[in-house]
Amino acid sequence: MRNFTLLLLWGMLTSAVHAQNVPLGTWESHFSYRSAKHILKVRNKIFCSSYNGLFRIDPANDEISNYSKANGLSEVGISSMAYDSTENLIILAYRSGNLDLLYLNKNLEPDQIINWPFLADASDLPANKQISKISFQNNKVYLSTNFGIIVLDPKLRKIEETYRYIGPGGLEVSVTDITFSSDSLFAATSQGLLSTSLSSTVNKQYFANWKIVPTPYKAISVSYQNGNINAGFSGHGVYKRNNAPWELIYESTSQTYSFSDKNNLVTLSDRILVLNQNKTDVYQNPIFNALQESLRVNSYFWSADSKQGLLSNKDGAFRSYSPADADTTISPRTDSTIIDLNGLAWSRLPDYLGGGISIKNIQTNKQRILSTSIGNGGLPSSLVHSLTIDTDGYIWFASERGVGYFIPDDILSGSAVNAILPVYGQRKLFSSERSNAISVEPGNRKWIGTDNGLFQFTADGTELIKQFTASDSPLPSSKISALNFEGATGLLFVDTPNGMVSYRSDASTPNENLSTITVFPNPVRPNFDGVLGVKGLMDNSTVKFTDLSGRLVYETRSQGGTASWDLNDYTGKRVRGGIYLIIIVSSDRSEKMAGKLAVIN
Please give the pLDDT value at position 263. Answer: 76
Classify 8 as helix, strand or coil: helix
Q: Are residues 353 and 484 in the same domain?
A: yes
Please give the pLDDT value at position 12. Answer: 32
Please give the pLDDT value at position 32. Answer: 52
Residue 74's pLDDT band (cuts 50, 70, 90): confident
- Whether residue 183 is contained in a domain is answered as yes
- Whether residue 147 is contained in a domain is answered as no
Write out pLDDT tens, residues 390-412: 999 999 999 999 999 999 999 99
Cis peptide before 497 (omega within 30 of 0): no
Q: Are residues 58 and 7 in the same domain?
A: no
**Helix (H), strand (E) counts: the chain:** 3, 57
Task: Average the pLDDT over each of 31-45, 173-187, 367-381, 474-488 and give the range with the smallest value.
Answer: 31-45
With a cut of 90, say whether residue 6 has pLDDT above it: no
Task: Average the pLDDT over each of 120-124, 246-250, 290-294 and give the range with the smallest value.
Answer: 120-124
Angle at 364 between CA 359 and CA 367, to 5 degrees: 25
Please give the pLDDT value at position 325. Answer: 53
Longest dimension (CA), the chain: 91
Classify 188 as helix, strand or coil: strand
Q: In what order do the strands lie in the sheet with 27-29?
A: 27-29, 499-504, 491-496, 482-486
Task: Average the pLDDT over each of 38-47, 59-68, 561-570 and give the range with the smallest value.
Answer: 59-68
- Whether residue 152 is contained in a domain is answered as no
Q: Are residues 367 and 272 in the same domain?
A: no
Q: Are residues 424 and 554 in the same domain?
A: no
Strand partners, 403: 398
Residue 16's pLDDT band (cuts 50, 70, 90): very low
- Element of type H or E holding 154: none
Please give the pLDDT value at position 1. Answer: 40
Q: Are residues 273 and 343 in the same domain?
A: no
Share of the chain above pLDDT 70, in %: 94
Distance of alpha carbon 521 from alpha carbon 17, whole angstroms: 11
Residue 3's pLDDT band (cuts 50, 70, 90): very low
Note whether 435 and 386 are within 8 A (CB). Answer: yes
- Whether residue 133 is contained in a domain is answered as no
Distance of alpha carbon 237 from alpha carbon 252, whole angstroms: 4
Range of the domain at 188: 165-284
Please give the pLDDT value at position 477. Answer: 83
- Whether residue 132 is contained in a domain is answered as no
Rg (CA), the chain: 28
Q: Are residues 117 and 88 in the same domain?
A: yes
Question: What is the mean pLDDT of the segment spanning 416-426?
Answer: 96
Note whether 66 and 328 are within 8 A (CB). Answer: yes
With a cut of 70, say whether residue 260 has pLDDT above it: yes
Domain boundary among 452, 474, 505: 505
- The torsion defined by the Cα of 210, 215, 219 and 224, in degrees rounded to 10, comes to -70
Q: Are residues 344 and 463 in the same domain?
A: yes
With a cut of 50, say whether residue 20 has pLDDT above it: yes
Please report, for residues 5, 27, 206, 546, 564, the alpha-carbon distance to residue 520 in angstroms, rounded to integers and kept in the order given. 14, 16, 59, 17, 10
What CATH number is given to the structural domain containing 545?
2.60.40.1930
Please give the pLDDT value at position 254. Answer: 95
Write out pLDDT tens, residues 499-553: 788 999 999 999 999 989 999 999 999 989 999 999 999 999 999 999 999 999 9
- Whether residue 254 is contained in a domain is answered as yes
With a cut of 70, say whether residue 450 has pLDDT above it: yes
- List alpha helices for 77-184, DSSP H: 118-121
- Whether residue 521 is contained in a domain is answered as yes
Residue 266's pLDDT band (cuts 50, 70, 90): very high
Q: Are residues 540 and 447 in the same domain?
A: no
Cis peptide before 154 (omega within 30 of 0): no
What CATH number is given to the structural domain containing 318?
2.130.10.10
Question: What is the mean pLDDT of the segment spanning 334-362?
Answer: 95
Mean pLDDT of the residues in the chain: 91
Of 333, 421, 413, whose CA–CA distance to 379 is shortest?
A: 421
First to last CA, the chain: 30
Note whether 452 and 473 are within 8 A (CB). Answer: no
Question: Residue 352 has what DSSP assignment?
Answer: G
- Whether residue 75 is contained in a domain is answered as yes
Q: Are residues 19 and 45 in the same domain?
A: no
Domain boundary among 450, 481, 505: 505
With a cut of 90, say whether residue 473 has pLDDT above it: no
Domain boundary among 284, 318, 348: 284
More confident residue, 226 or 505: 505
With a cut of 80, say whether residue 10 has pLDDT above it: no
Q: Are residues 11 and 75 in the same domain?
A: no
Q: Are residues 222 and 362 in the same domain?
A: no
Q: Domains in the chain: how many in total?
A: 4
More confident residue, 422 or 95: 422
Task: Average the pLDDT over each of 197-211, 314-328, 403-417, 545-559 and give the range with the smallest value.
Answer: 314-328
Q: Are residues 475 and 585 in the same domain?
A: no
pTM (2 d.p.):
0.55
